[in-house]
Amino acid sequence: MYTRIVVGIDGSELATKALRHALTLAKQSHARLFVVTVTEPSVLISPGAEMMAINTGELIAELEAAKASSAKATLDEAQALAKADGLTIEPIHVPSSVAADALLDTAKAQGADLIVMGSHGRRGLGRLLLGSQAAEVLARSTIPVLVVK
């Protein structure tokens, strides 16, 4: 039925549920599974910054490194789940992007015929999928989207 599936994860319980569903689908249909986690661009906002002199380059580099480390941990957990099911995944970290854009772009680049995602995700640095991002993917996708609740 499906040959190439993209699933978005962020480490949340609901994303893990979506991943488990995608693993089952991939196993049943012998599909390749691309597991995507996205980290948003780092932005620093500081009122009164005109009065301060700080090296924002260093701060942003540290934020990006922390987000990359978190993304790696999230993808490592996904690989462990897949391995336990006797499957392999293709992990993808998309840095400095909006989740909906990253999932849609990855699906297109990989020739996916299904996107699987949670209906919402967690907030904070590790955020991937919010209700608004799921709605955005649903509105813009040209392929089927499975939203797991």
* Higher pLDDT, residue 144 or 123: 144
| Residue ranges making up the domain that contains 40 | 4-148
The structure's pTM equals 0.87
pLDDT at residue 126, rounded to an integer: 41
CATH code of the domain containing 144 = 3.40.50.620
**Residue 109: is its pLDDT beyond 90?**
yes
**Integer angstrom CA distances of residue 72 from 108, 132, 146:** 23, 24, 24
How many distinct structural domains can be found in the chain?
1
Q: DSSP assignment, residue 53?
A: -
pLDDT digits (tens, 9 = 90+) for 40-88: 988 766 665 555 566 777 888 889 999 999 999 999 999 999 999 999 9
- State the residue for tokens 């299904």: 114
Quote the CA–CA distance of 119 and 136 in Å, as a whole number. Answer: 11
